[in-house]
Structure formats: structure tokens, C-alpha cells
Amino acid sequence: MPDDAPTVITRFAPSPTGFLHLGHVHSCLFAVNAAKAANGRFLLRIEDIDPSRCRPDYEVMLKEDLAWLGFGWEEPVRRQSDHMEDYAAALDRLAALGVTYPCFCSRKEIADEIARAGNAPHLVAMGPEGPLYPGICRHLSRDVATARTAAGEPHAIRLDVAKAAILTGPLSWHDRARGTIVADTGLLGDIVLARRDVQTSYNLSVTVDDAIQGVTLVTRGEDLFHATHVHRLLQALLSLPAPDYHHHGLLRNDRGERLSKRDGATGIRSLRAQGVSAADILRRAAYRAEG
């Protein structure tokens, strides 16, 4: 391979909200195998922007379990909560493009609005994961929005996807499992970029981090396939490179259903405690993780 050939860089990006389980191991193996197959690099990233759900001791245990399974990664590990300034900078850039707006709605107000519009279904767009944000605050005048923000009213920041898509024009990305995908940038509606309580969001942080870390191949579960449409939009708005993607199937039980707690012990700690070996766990998790 010539020296200047682009290196494949993959990552596994768990959130420390609980113990490492078989689904995680499946995803991690997938990323590791994809890096190995290309003689590339593998990174671990800790996605801990949500202080109400993430715990430092879970992070310690995730790493301990991954190491016990024989995984290795490059240090230092990027921990999202240490890099809030990177997400703030991206948010400023999007605001400067005029594609963001403050959203003062509570969950209840959004649910009420959706229920009201339920009588007139053409008023609420359905996304693949449920009804989309009905755009209440998108229609606020700039003066009202500024006054409410200045008065300290709690708010999230949303992306005006229709405006954003006009700026970027048509977009696509490459998925190793599905080929060229034309981005349907409005698929998830006006997503939250910064939450009320945390000045970023999964969608913003993951897009910024993959670019900062030079990730060239994003491997992750197909449950995040829809999110990639909007990640592609954020990349274009922020002038970030578009990595390759490979959305992999989720680990399933014998009945073909997605693994859940009902399938018994899938936590690596409890499997370990039962005396299951690392090799055995890797074998169970390897199903469809060939990268």
C-alpha cells in the first residue's frame, strides 16, 4: 500500500449508561474487524454527554470488560463531556448560517400539539421513529425568540432542516451494506442540536467527533441508520468530510428478535461471573460481526 493511502479509522462509541452487554461486544467487534481488514486504526470513544444517565463508574467497568475480552484501543480515549467547547463552536457556526432556532417547548407541549393535530393528520409529519416536531417555535418571530431567550427562559436549539437543505442542496453518502444513499435530510424533522439541560446532543456531538478524530468508516447498528441522513446534512453545513458508513445488523435471539433483557443474562459481568470465558462471549457476539 502506498504511504499516502488513506488509513481506515473506525470507532466504537458506547455511552456509559450501564454494563457492557453482548450487543456492545458485537458492535465493537464489527469496528475492530473492519479496521483490521484494512490494516487500519480502531478508536474507542466515550459518549457521555447526558449527566443524568451516564456514570464514571460505568465507564471504568466498560473499559475493564472490553480489556478482559482482549480488545485494545488507542489512548487517550476521547470522552465527549471533556470537549463541550467543540460542540459549542459547531453550534455557533450553524447559528451564523441562520439554520438554528431556539425551542421553548416542553415535552408536554409538543405531545399536546401532536395530539391536537392528530385530528388533522396532514398537520403532523410522521417520521420513521414517530411524529416529528410540529415546528411550533420555528414560527416565532425573531424579536419574540430573542426576548424570551434574553429573559432566561429555558430552551433547546433546533435545526431548521428545510432551510439547511436549501443551503446544501442534494446530498448522499456511501453505506457499505446498502450502497449510495440519497440523504433524506428532513427524515427526522427539526432535530435538537443542543438540549435544554446539556448544550449539545447525540447528533451534533457524534458528527463533530467523527470528523475531529478523523474517522473514515463509521460502523454502528442499523437502528442508527435514520440518524445518518441528518448527520450527512450537518457535515455539509459544517464543511466536514463525509466518512464511509456500514450499518450492521443487531444481535438477535433464536427467534430473530433483537436481544433484550428478557433473553436472560447478556451483561458481560454476569456472564463472567457464571464462568463463561472471554472466547465464548466473543463467539456469541461474533454472529454477523464479520465487518
Judged by the rule CB under 6 A, the positions of this chain that interact with ligand GLU are 13-15, 47, 206, 220, 224
d(CA 252, CA 266): 11
- Closer by beta carbon to ligand GLU, 50 or else 113: 50
- Closer by beta carbon to ligand GLU, 23 or else 135: 23
Q: How far is the CB of 247 from ligand GLU (least distance, A)?
A: 10
Q: Cell 434574553: give the residue.
A: 150
Q: How far is the CB of 15 from ligand GLU (least distance, A)?
A: 4
Q: CA 241: distance to chain centroid?
A: 17
- Closer by beta carbon to ligand GLU, 105 or else 208: 208
- Closer by beta carbon to ligand GLU, 14 or else 135: 14
d(CA 236, CA 243): 12
Q: How far is the CB of 227 from ligand GLU (least distance, A)?
A: 7
Q: CA 114: distance to chain centroid?
A: 25
Q: How far is the CB of 141 from ligand GLU (least distance, A)?
A: 36
Q: Judging by DSSP bridges, how do beta strands 9-12 and 41-46 pair with one another?
A: parallel
- Closer by beta carbon to ligand GLU, 105 or else 206: 206
- Closer by beta carbon to ligand GLU, 15 or else 200: 15
The DSSP line for the chain is --TTSPPPEEEE----SS--BHHHHHHHHHHHHHHHHTT-EEEEEE----TTT--HHHHHHHHHHHHHTT----SSPEEGGG-HHHHHHHHHHHHHTT-EEEE---HHHHHHHHHHHTTSGGGS-EETTEEPP--TGGGS-HHHHHHHHHTT---EEEE-HHHHHHHH-S-EEEETTTEEEE--TTTT-S-EEE-SSSSS-HHHHHHHHHHHTT--EEEEEGGGHHHHHHHHHHHHHTT----EEEEEPPPB-TTSPBP-GGGS--BHHHHHHTT--HHHHHHHHHTT---
Q: How far is the CB of 52 from ligand GLU (least distance, A)?
A: 15
- Closer by beta carbon to ligand GLU, 13 or else 105: 13
Q: How far is the CB of 144 from ligand GLU (least distance, A)?
A: 35
- Closer by beta carbon to ligand GLU, 91 or else 218: 218
Q: How far is the CB of 178 from ligand GLU (least distance, A)?
A: 17
Q: How far is the CB of 228 from ligand GLU (least distance, A)?
A: 9
